[in-house]
Amino acid sequence: MFDVHTHLTDEAIYHDLDNVLKSAREDGVSRFLIPAYSPLFWERAKTISENNEDIYFAVGIHPLFLSDKEPEGLREELIKHPKCLAVGEVGLDAFPPDACMDLQRSWFAREAAFAAKRDKPLVIHCRRAYSDLLELLRAQITVKPVRFVLHSCSCSKEEAKAFLDLGAYVSLSGTLTRTNARKAKELALYVPRDKVLLETDSPYIGTHKVRPPDVRPAQVMEVAEAYAEITGLTVKEVEDFTDKNAERFFVL
């Protein structure tokens, strides 16, 4: 099973990384992607990936971390690394009352162009800004197409349709495991199976069984079990096709 979004660089996990990885592998997690969302974590993500055959990374700046200074030339160097699979985590976040959306939109447009030029996919965070995101992606695609995944997607199935029409992949997280997550379950049933990825967003998004900040990559198996139950598939079937989807999306 491929956890396509886990923050192994963050202290809640990093301080016990060896044990976290051992537990995940024993539970059936075979690959991991670190979305290094700030320049402060880019080098750490690279080092972890270099030291572990089954770990990959992405580089980007999360919309709530745009003030973190980006060392000149570092992104260009890292994006060429053989284990750097994507640009991310990037996107739009309108949740904070003081969010500067003009800055976020201009920065995301820059990230999208950067990814498209280098034929790398985008790992996208979006909260309460799906209309703006759709407009920006359409604008980029008219210039040069770019692959993208909506990570831990929280949009409705109606909103998802417009993104799927642009070729989106949709990554489902621990929200799917919660008994009252009607919207997430509807989305899981709506998204075509060849566009589904699975993730934990560990340590940040809780599952039915584990609350943050104790979520770890091992919980991606709980997400897979929830998806299997909703769709009437076996966990093995879910693992097989979501892993193939991830390989196609990240060009592995």
Residue-level pLDDT at 8: 98
Could you tell me the pLDDT band of residue 72, with boundaries at 50, 70 and 90? confident
CATH number at residue 209: 3.20.20.140
Could you tell me the pLDDT band of residue 69, with boundaries at 50, 70 and 90? confident
- Asked whether the predicted pLDDT for residue 56 surpasses 90, the reply is yes
- Asked whether the predicted pLDDT for residue 190 surpasses 90, the reply is yes
Residue that wins the pLDDT comparison between 34 and 72: 34
How large is the average pLDDT for residues 146-152? 97
Please choose, from the candidates 214, 218, 126, 229, the residue with its C-alpha nearest in 3D space to the C-alpha of residue 177. Answer: 229
Contacts with 172 (C-beta within 8 Å, 6 or more apart), sequence order: 152, 153, 184, 187, 188, 196, 197, 198, 199, 223, 227
Residue-level pLDDT at 73: 85
How large is the average pLDDT for residues 109-129? 96
Task: Give the total number of structural domains in the chain.
Answer: 1
Query: Which tens digit of pLDDT belongs to each residue from 211-242?
Result: 999 999 999 999 999 999 999 999 999 999 99
Share of the chain above pLDDT 70, in %: 100
226 is in which domain, residue-wise?
Answer: 2-250
Cis peptide upstream of residue 71 (ω within 30 degrees of 0):
no
